Amino acid sequence: MAKNITIKDIAKEAGVSIALVSFVMNNRIGADGKQKYRVSEATKERILEVARRLDYRPNSAARSLRQGRTHVLGVILSDMGNIFYGTIAHYLEKMANKHGYTVLFGNTEEDPEQFNRLVQSFLEKDVEGFVVVPCQGSQAGMERLMASGRPFVVIDRHNPNYDVPYVYTDNADAMRQALHAIQEQGATKIEMVSYAMRISSMTDREDSFHEVLGPDAHIYHLPFTITEADADAVAEEVIRKGTDGLVMSSNVPSVAVLKALFRRGVRIQEDIRIVGFDYSNVYNFFNPPISYILQPLPEIAEQAAKYLFRLIEMRESGEDISTVKDKIILKATLK
């Protein structure tokens, strides 16, 4: 209820114009060489004192309306409950914070409609820039984002049909490392566990897998929401075939299949060697520990944020950002 204190109240209380209050509050004094707006120390102090006393807080809606800036970013990802995205989200928020930005988050749960809704919603909220994880079928949403002219950076996946700014992991290289590792560990009948989703992170890893092991090497495809039955089916087939090496393409299916194998008494790392993709605590509890591909999450977030800030900066100073589409490719490491 308590009516919020505005610049007007302060002006009245301090006996000055609202313009002056604004200048003082924004410390826009004696700036721009010609030092146009100058205020005497005395009035400045008086204004600041009143502001403090009345506990003034600027209304950001009004400021945004006038300036066209919100200092808000929009981050759209798959699922914050997944430690992979949760970690990225955390680092992104940290970067944003450091630069005076605040961030709106949204989860698509791999639903393209939801992706689209989030884009719309964030555009209307006037976010100054986006970091997005597209999903299968999110073309409409991506088109709208591109058409908006709002700065954005794609991470984790990308649609090769769209020439847009992104930060991406060298998944082909990562899979080569994984396969090299599992072969060194003695596996000869190697299969892969992947998601059914046709997104570049999966297909790039799969293509690389086939390049190394030939087109007949088998890949299991699991749905986005993996049931116990899904994982059990994979385990059964793996056992039946006598597969002795399994490379994973993501942490969730990785853990799901490990559970199913464990339930069946398969001696993991003896009967079958595993190489995971993305970190899970689970890997530590085998002998030897399960190797895994680690994507540089902090760096992904950092690079994406920096890239985005650069785009925002450019747009703010009137430059054309539609021509900048640099791709940043980061290497994953085997752990």
Partner DNA sequence: ATTTAATGCTAAATTGTTTTAGATTTTAGC
Partner DNA sequence: GCTAAAATCTAAAACAATTTAGCATTAAAT
Residues that bind DNA (CB under 7 A): 4, 6-8, 15-20, 22-23, 25-26, 28, 35-40, 42-44, 56-59, 61-63, 65-67
User: How far apart are CB 207 and a copy of itself at their closest, in Å?
Assistant: 29
- Asked whether the beta carbons of 192 and 293 are under 8 A apart, the reply is no
Query: How many Cα atoms occupy the beta-carbon half-sphere of 309 within 13 Å?
Result: 15
Residue 29: CB minimum distance to DNA, A: 9
| Cβ closest to DNA, residue 4 vs residue 333 | 4
Residue whose CB is less far from a copy of itself, 40 or 284 = 284
State the binding partner of 23 from a copy of itself, DNA, none, CB within 5 to 8 A by kind: DNA
Pick one of DNA, a copy of itself, none as the site partner of residue 312 (Cβ within 5 to 8 A by kind). none
Strands 273-277 and 245-248: parallel
- The per-residue DSSP string of 33-50 comes to TT------HHHHHHHHHH
Q: If contact means CB under 5 to 8 A according to the sort of partner, which of a copy of itself, DNA, none does residue 203 touch?
A: none
- Residue 182 and residue 273: Cα distance in Å, rounded? 7
Helix (H, G, I), strand (E, B) or coil at 136: coil
Which of the listed partners (a copy of itself, DNA, none) does 196 bind, with a CB threshold of 5 to 8 Å by partner kind?
A: none
User: Which tokens sit at 99?
Assistant: 């630069």
Report the residue number, 26 or 333, with the smaller CB distance to DNA: 26
Report, in Å, the least distance between residue 23 CB and a copy of itself.
19
Distance separating alpha carbons of residues 293 and 34, to the nearest angstrom: 57
List, as one string, the DSSP characters of 193-229. Answer: EEESS--HHHHHHHHHHHHHH-TTS-EEEE-SS--HH
Minimum distance from CB of 149 to DNA (Å)? 14
Query: Among a copy of itself, DNA, none, what binds residue 262 when CB lies within 5 to 8 Å by partner kind?
Result: a copy of itself
| Residue 232 near residue 222 (C-beta atoms within 8 A) | no
Nearer Cβ to a copy of itself (88/213): 88
Please give the structure tokens belonging to residue 232. 């059990």
Find the angle CA(161)-CA(165)-CA(168) to the nearest 5 degrees: 85
Distance CA 328, CA 244 (A): 35
Sheet architecture: strand order including 333-334: 219-222, 190-195, 245-248, 273-277, 291-294, 333-334
Interface contacts to a copy of itself, rule CB under 8 A:
1-2, 57-62, 64-65, 70, 72, 79-83, 85-87, 89-91, 93-94, 97, 102-107, 120-126, 149, 255, 258-259, 262, 280-282, 284-286, 315, 318, 320
Minimum CB distance to DNA, residue 212 (Å)? 54
Of residues 108 and 169, the one with the C-beta less far from a copy of itself: 108
Query: Under DSSP, is residue 102 helix (H, G, I), strand (E, B) or coil?
Result: strand
First-to-last C-alpha distance (Å) of the chain: 56
Residue 55 or 320 having the CB closest to DNA: 55
Residue 107 CB, shortest distance to a copy of itself, in Å, is 6
Instruction: Pick one of DNA, a copy of itself, none as the site partner of residue 79 (Cβ within 5 to 8 A by kind).
Output: a copy of itself
Residue 149 interacts with which of DNA, a copy of itself, none, CB < 5 to 8 Å by class: a copy of itself
Beta carbon of residue 268, minimum distance to a copy of itself (angstroms, whole number): 8
Q: With respect to DNA, which residue has the nearer C-beta, 31 or 196?
A: 31
Of these partners, DNA, a copy of itself, none, which one is at the site of residue 39 (CB under 5 to 8 Å by kind)? Answer: DNA
Strand intervals (E) in the chain: 72-77, 102-107, 129-132, 152-155, 166-169, 190-195, 219-222, 245-248, 273-277, 291-294, 327-330, 333-334
State in angstroms the smallest separation of the CB of 115 from DNA: 23
